[in-house]
Every structure is written in C-alpha cells, then in structure tokens.
Amino acid sequence: ISGAAGRMGRRLLSLACADKEVELVQAIEYAEHPLMGKKVREVEPEAQSDVVITSTLESGVDVVIDFSSPQGTLALAKRAEQLGIALVIGTTAKDFAWRAEVKKSAAVVPLVHAHNFSLGVNLMCKVAAQMAKSLGEDFDIEIVEGHHHHKVDAPSGTALGIATSICQEIGRDVEKDLVYGREGQVGKRTKREIGMHALRMGSEIGLHTVYYASEYERLEFTHRASSRDVFAAGAIRTAKWIKGKPAAYYEMTNVLASDDDVIRLGSWARDQARARSLGMMT
C-alpha cells in the first residue's frame, strides 16, 4: 500500500490486515514522512501488522494500491513497471497530461486508475450520463462536490469522473466544456458548458451532486459517502481482481463486469456488509 499513512492509506491497512485473502507485505510513504520506519500497528492500531513503513517499492509483491500524490504515483508506476507489479491507483488530480502519463504504465503491467472505487459512485457515473442523454439539450448540467477541509486538490477525481462519463455520453469535451466556478462578468451560460464547483468543509468524506435544470423543473442526483471504508474495500477488491491479469489499462467497468451483473453487484454488496459485520466500517 502506497500512501499508507494517509487517511485512505490507514483504512486500507486496517481492511487489508483483516482480510484473510490478503497479505500485507509493504507499506510505503515518501522518504521524509515523520512516520518512516514505524510499524504498521503503530500507524494504524486496527492493523495488527509488524510491517515497517518504507519509502521504496520492492519485489515480492503481486499488486500495489496507491493513494499517495501525483508525483509519488508517477515514480511508483515506473518502479512497478521495472518489477512487473500490477497497479491499482486511486490518486487523483485535475491534470489530463498527468493521467495520460500514468496510463502509459499499462503497456507493461496491468493497471486500474479509478476516480472512485465505491459501487455507488461507479453506478452514479453510468446513470448520470444516461440521465443527461435522456433529458437532452434543454437541461443545464452542474456538478457540485464537497470534501473535508484537508483535501488538497479540486475538483475531486470523482467529480471529474462523473463529468467525463456525461461528456462522453452527450458529445461534450471534458477538457473544453467544463467551467470551474464562476466569478465576475462571465456572460450568459452557453449550451455546451457543464459547471463544476468544489466545497471544502469540516469532515465531509465525499459528497457529489449532479443538477439537471430546465426552464420548468430541476432534478438532483446525489451520492454521499458515509465512510472511507467503502473506497478502501473497493480498492482491495480491485487488487484481488487484477492479480494475474495481462498488462492493459482496465476501467472499473471491467472490474464490475460479469456474465451476470446481478451476481457481481450482489457480491460487492456482500463484501461491504461483511466489512460492517466485522467492525471494519465506521
């Protein structure tokens, strides 16, 4: 697990150590991190492991889950290429060139780079796009995301993922048609633009709403995360799925896909219920 001492990293440590199908073999942080050299159990009391926090990915790993920083992700991806280690990346940034650079590693190792690992959000992306297409050109679309005041990037990767799905479905350009906030004399709203707005407040884990509004009515489609464990559990499930896969770039739709989608989605839901029953979700 890369970014092991962060908010997401600690939940990953906890759930990974509690999962009998997973063996935690490395916990990685940047070299100057104040917890460097500490045991995992000292970093996250729920994770009963004597693995020590280190700064470099080493061999002997099947999959590395990364929730670090954009710069750290690039370095990790190159190292994973050298060692032939599969990548599950949850690090996000509003930098399309950076995402394209990360994606290059898929030519060498299997890679999933997800905006969000929760089942609900991935369904939201699909349904939000279908709603936009069904409602048509008479409805303006605005996206609002909210997170805790410690979050350093905006908009969230999840919000960009929702926007990307909508743009692909209705023929908009995610790099040109998104409008990030509005201030001053911005002029009349154009038909093609999709507004993107970020809230930073308190301890909000993750709030995403898509607004669809015409002259006569408004629809609001919202997802709110109650625990970071929903993302951690999804990332761990993805790591299990990608182990042994050939080198390629995989989407969460691939992870969730099955001959019987109901079975797949039911299995994911059961994983979440099992985590709650074991006291791993707070």
State in Å, rounded, how far the first CA of the chain is from the last one: 21
Catalytic residue, chosen from 113, 147, 197, 223, is 147
147 is catalytic: yes
Looking at the chain, list the stretches that DSSP marks H as alpha helix, in order from N- to C-terminal side.
7-18, 40-43, 70-83, 96-103, 119-135, 157-170, 229-242, 252-256, 261-277
Q: Identity (one letter) of the amino acid at 220?
A: E
Phi, psi at residue 81, to the nearest 5°? -60, -45
Catalytic residue, chosen from 33, 39, 151, 245, is 151
Torsion angle in degrees (nearest 10) through CA of 41, 50, 87, 150: 20
Q: Identity (one letter) of the amino acid at 29?
A: E
Q: H or E segment at 185?
A: none
Which of the residues are catalytic? 147, 151
